[in-house]
Chains A and B, each alone.
Chain A
Amino acid sequence: MSKSVATDGLDLPWARRLAGHSDPSRRFRGVGPIVAIALVGGIWSLVAYLQIWSEIILPTPDRVWSALVESVTSEGGRRGLSGHYLWEHVGASLWRIIRGVFWAAAFGAPLGLGLGLFRTFQAVAEPIVGFLRSLPPLGYFSLLIIWFGIDDTSKVWLLFIAAFPPIAIGVAAGVASIQPERVKAALTLGATRRDLVRHTILPSTLPDLLTGLRVAIGFAWTTIVAAETSNGIPGIGGLAWATKKELRSDVAILCVIVIGVVAVLMDLVIRLIERRLLPWRRRS
């Protein structure tokens, strides 16, 4: 009698998936975040209600909930938290982001095209862009404050400088990776230099621009929250920073959650815009 021989290689779901089989566990993807939230929330509640540490170290979920309520209401002389409602804090931060990233895109996209198209320009400008990108933004924030004051202008400058390198470098890489056949086809169909930019280069690099924008917004968000530690009220980063004086750990946790949720939402919005602008990328 012959015994059939097989390895156990395909017995595990991950092995089947890596071997290119369709993966039935994809079904659970949608509920993953819900399970994750429930899990983290559950452990937090458990530890907090057991009162292993004091309220100040680890507030309970309902303390944080009260902080949320406090942040959107006023009572007596109090108006929201640190004098502003939660949406004013978030709105102020977002407004800084929007201005900084707008200028970053307006400057970074043409710069990226220039880097991608002109070799001599690239030789000089790329080291500068690369240097700026490698700097932690808070490293040059003091200088910006000295130049532009402590108000919003210096923060928008900070965001601009933090956000334009990923956009410029993304667009430049996009230009460099345009398939030569695309350009050749346009040329032999009679495209002029202008046609080439308009019909071939710009649409070819649009996906890279959007990817660069997404990276830039993510980076700008982490930067602004840190930058608001100086004169950042209203601002969600400023609010988070202010909690340390009064030991408001409930507000600190509230800020962490809000900062995270806003980051996820911004990413979602960019992805929706990508889907709109790049319909051919949609695959069933």
Chain B
Amino acid sequence: MTVTPQQAETAPSPGAEGETVRGLRLRGVSHVYRGGVRDVVSLDPLDLDVVAGEFLVIVGPSGCGKSTLLEILAGLIRPTSGDVFIDDRRVVGPSRDRAVVFQQSTSLYPWLTVRRNVELGLRVRNLPRSERRSRADAELARVGLSEFADQWPHELSGGMQQRCQIARALAVDPPILLLDEPFGALDALTRENLQHSLREIWRETRRTVVMVTHSVEEAVLLGTRVLVMSHRPGRVVDDLRFGFVTLNSTVAEIRSRPDFVETCRTLRSQLLGL
């Protein structure tokens, strides 16, 4: 489905309840970090269309501008040139139609219990307490944290903290979910666990997901589409489509499929050759 720009330059997307989003469009988006000793060009001009329901994974060498791109999508960074559109609306800032999961669990609020952290996006919307609680509890159940609802974030393991972040993002029911290396700081087993959970969440909700990772395996396992970025300044050098995430087999089964292994190998050598 293609989206035509009709009413560009309107107000930030309100993110109305139950809103469905058709897609994300980037037109000539570039970015330069200014103000340092010298300007750092972090993104070369980029055109991109993300279709609703896509699980888009961005891989690329460290420092190539993945986080910058994701924060531009989130509205946390303004592009130096170009525009981001959600359907017909130009993105001018952050909004809860694009919730973000960060790599650092320092984004959790240490003075709030796990449940109250998940309620954060609902509190700023002034939802009544009972509704906040039931929605938070539903998301906590989804990520398997129900038992830990009344703990402090620092009492959770790294993997559980990331689950809490995911629950907090999902609680506002964002049509688009953005994740910046969400499992980058976790050990291998925990990481596989969370990959499985995220896969289940996507298969259940078919939300539009944009995830940054530096793990080739993660990209191939979860993405319906994988963008490969070059060294800084980031450019998209390849745009691949995969279907492993939609297969009806377990993550373990997929990992041992020869075509999965082969795909990862190819992609890895492509990244190493950059």
- A residues with a Cβ closer than 8 A to B are 179, 181-182, 184-192, 195, 199-200, 203, 206, 278, 280
Contact = CB atoms under 8 A, between A and B. Distances in A.
B89 to A, nearest CB: 15
Contact of A188 (B95, B109, B125, B154): B95
Given A192-B124, A199-B124, A187 B94 contact: yes
7 contacts: A182-B107, A184-B76, A184-B100, A185-B108, A190-B15, A190-B96, A190-B125
Contacts of A190: 15, 95-96, 121, 124-125, 172
B242 to A, nearest CB: 27
Q: Most B CB atoms within 10 A — which of A186, A188, A203? A: A188
Contact of A280 (B93, B110, B125, B172): B110
B104 A181 contact: yes
Interface in B156-177: 165, 168-169, 172
B120 A186 contact: yes
A185 B164 CA distance: 13
Contacts of B94: 184, 187-188
B74 interface: yes
B164 to A, nearest CB: 11
Nearest to A195: B124
Given A188-B99, A189-B168, A190-B95, A199 B120 contact: yes
Interface of B: 15, 71, 74-76, 93-96, 98-100, 102, 104, 106-111, 120-121, 123-125, 152, 154, 165, 168-169, 172, 178
B124 A189 contact: yes
A284 to B, nearest CB: 10
Contacts of B99: 188-189
Contacts of A189: 96, 99, 120-121, 124, 168-169, 172
Nearest to B15: A190
Contacts of A186: 120, 124
Contacts of B108: 185
Nearest to A192: B124
Nearest to A281: B110
A181 B117 CA distance: 14
Contacts of B124: 186, 189-192, 195, 199
A203 B111 contact: yes
A81 B76 CA distance: 66
Contacts of A188: 74-76, 94-96, 98-100, 169, 178
